[in-house]
Structure formats: C-alpha cells, structure tokens
Structure 1
C-alpha cells in the first residue's frame, strides 16, 4: 500500500526530461489536471498551452498581436463584441478555448504568411509554399535554399563584372589618350607619308628594266716597224 501511494504521487508530476523542457522554455507546469491526465511525458504542444496565464491582459495582447480589432476578433470567435469587452475588462472570465485558439493561431505557420505582403500565398499540406503570381507546384524548402544561394552567387558575379568593366573602361580611356597623343604629334601623318614613299620606291623597283650591253670584239694588231 505504501509503494502504491508513492507511485501515485510520482505520476502527479512530469518526467525529468519533460520537466527539463519546461524549465528551458521558462514554463511552469502548474495545471494539476494536466499532470494527472498526462503522467510523465508531456508533448510540446501541451507544454506551450501553459506558457501564458489565462487572463484579460494576455487575451487582449493576443488579439492585438494578431492585428485584430474587437469586432474582427468577435466575428472570428463567433461571439458578440460586448462579450469580448467583458473578457478584456475582467468583468467575465476568459474561456480557455477562445484564449487557446488565439494563441495557436498566433504561433501557426499560416499566420506568419497572413501579412498583406503575402496576399494569396499559402502553404499546402505537402509543405510547399505557393505563390499566386507563379502558380505550379510551389516552392519546396530545398528550392528556397537553392534560390538564396543562387542570388548570393549572382551578387558575387555582379561585383566581378563591375570590377572587370572598370578595368575595361580604364583601358579604353588609356587607348584613346594614346591615339590622341599620336594625332597631336603628327606621328600618324608621318608614318603615312613614309608608307607612301616606300610604296613609290617599290613601284620604281618593280618597273625598272635592265638594258644589256654587247661585249667588245676588238683585236689588237701589232704595229709595223719603220725602217
């Protein structure tokens, strides 16, 4: 009987690992009903249900964090706006179901894409992110990561292109300056004049004719002696 009593007391608190998870998330497992219904192991969604104290201030903060007016929140919860005013003023206790519903919506992935900039975007059941501007099968996490890497690589290539373009521009400026210098000094005109003289000389050489001379055929006769 003594061991049975100890066993029951032991089951009124979370396991050591679950207690560690509560501690690391700064959550106090104060609900005795939960501790009795869930002996030892508490899944994380159950842990998070005890993250906030149910009360008028926290309810109002949840509503404002969702960007909802009292009228909008009442319409979503299928309640009268006057009822929400009573909850937020502490006149009536905030029901757990309505409080927990707002907390779950705030922490949901779908709420993260509820910003007006994400109009039309949604995450399907297979985990793909769909865009109204592209359509198709949507983006997988791997594709989004690859897209980010591609943009980073493209940024590096743009930097390299800018660097090379700067060097090319500098080379063009230098080449233009050299050409202008040669023009100013008359170098190009002088070279052109020399080319004309060379062409004329080559023309004369190519058209020159060699006139042959006949060989001399004179025989020398000995002179006669005078007596």
Structure 2
C-alpha cells in the first residue's frame, strides 16, 4: 500500500514562511491547505495567541483603550482584562480580528492626519475636502513633478517681473521728457521688449512630464 504523503506547504509557501521567520505550527492548517497557504493564513500564524500578545496589539499597534477594545469586540472590559492577564483563554477569532484590523488599509487611513480619507472600490484615494477630489496611484506618483513645475513657473514669473519693472519706469520717464532725439524709436523698442516679456509671463508653456497614458485627470469623486 502506498504511503500517504504528509500534508505540508509547497516550496513557494515554505520559502515565504522562512523569509518572514514564521513557523507553520498548525497541523490543522497544513491539512486544510496541503500545498499553497494564502498570505492571510501565513500571517495568522505569526503570533502566539496569548494575553501578552493580545495586549501588545491593543496598546502598541492599535493604540486603543480597554473599553474601546471591549466595545468593538462586544464584550465587557473585564473580559478583555481577563484575557490579557491569561486568566481565561482568548478566543482565536477575537485575537485574529485585532490582527486583521491592524493589517487592514482602513486602519492605515485611520491616522488623525488622514481623517475622512478612504479608498473607493475602484482603487482611487478620496479626499474629504476640496470638492471630494480623488486620486489614482498614477496621479499621486507625479505629485512631486507637478509641484516642481509649479515652483519653476513661479520663479520664472518673478524674474520676468523684476526685468519688466525697470523698463516700465524708463518708459514713463521717456514719455515725460520733451524733444529728445530719437524718442519715438526708443519708445517703440521699449514697447516691443515689454510685449515680448509680457507674452513670456502669460504664456501657457507646459513642462513635459513623462507619465503613463493610462493616467486620468484628477476628478471629483
């Protein structure tokens, strides 16, 4: 009779366990997932279900109080205290729920600096202010280039304005003078120069940015 092969993760899954320093300790997990272990299964075995680990997740990772944790898990604060002191066993579902909350993108966006922000099902990051704007990953990738182009045009504008102001003063002085030889030619030359500089200030030049054709314009959510 052929020997039954012992359930064990495949090579790729075993490598993932090894690289993350996680020991696949659950026999039931190996039997239920005899080859490939999804990442959420691998991560579920990263922490031992204990009161100290539960308290660490609550206080250091999630940074929530015991009453807040109790309200979320729909138990009493005394139950949370009993779990954390190892007086009663911690249900794996409660332990795993806290871990999944910490790993979730919604928790990452719960920081006070990201109040109201959320990710839509289509993957766009939605801003709660400024008309509920939303951004794709491509658009956010070019934010730095956009600000660099803005600063470039602001500097160019300042330089051109500094160059125009003396010419305006000179033009006003020439207009107020009487009977200078060649005055008309000088005025025309200055006016032409002013027109050129003004056109540069108000031009619609755009700094080319090499961006993906799939990038969409920032639009309202």
Tell me the TM-score normalised to structure 2 length: 0.68
In structure 2, the CA distance between the partners of 1:31 and 1:148, relative to structure 1 (3 Å rule), is: same
CA contact (8 A) 1:121 1:129 kept: yes
Name structure 1 gaps, 5 residues minimum. 177-191, 196-227
- Cα RMSD (Å): 3.0
Q: Residue 146 in 1 paired to residue 145 in 2?
A: no
The answer on whether the counterparts of 2:127 and 2:133 sit within 8 Å (CA) in structure 1 is no
1:45-83 residue CA offsets vs partner (Å, 9 max, x unmatched): 111111111111111111122121000000000011000
For CA contacts below 8 A with separation 6 or more, give which structure has more relative contact order: 2
- The structural deviation recorded for 1:43 is 1.0
Pair 1:91-2:90 in alignment: no
Matching residue of 1:45:
40
Unaligned runs of 5+ in 2: 171-177, 182-221
Q: C-alpha offsets along residues 74-117 of structure 1, whole Å, 9 cap, x if unaligned? A: 00000110000001111112111011101111011111111122
Displacement after TM superposition at 1:146 (Å): 2.6
- Measure the CA separation in 2 of the matches of 1:160 and 1:23: 55
Structure 2 CA distance for partners of 1:161 and 1:56, relative to 1, 3 Å: farther
- The 1-side partners of 2:149 and 2:20 are apart by 38
Q: For the residues of structure 2 that align with 1:146 and 1:70, how far apart are their CA atoms? A: 42
Corresponding position of 2:12: 17
Matched, 1:61 2:60: no
Q: Which has the higher helix share?
A: 1
**1:102 alignment counterpart:** 98
Q: What number of residue pairs does the alignment pair up?
A: 174
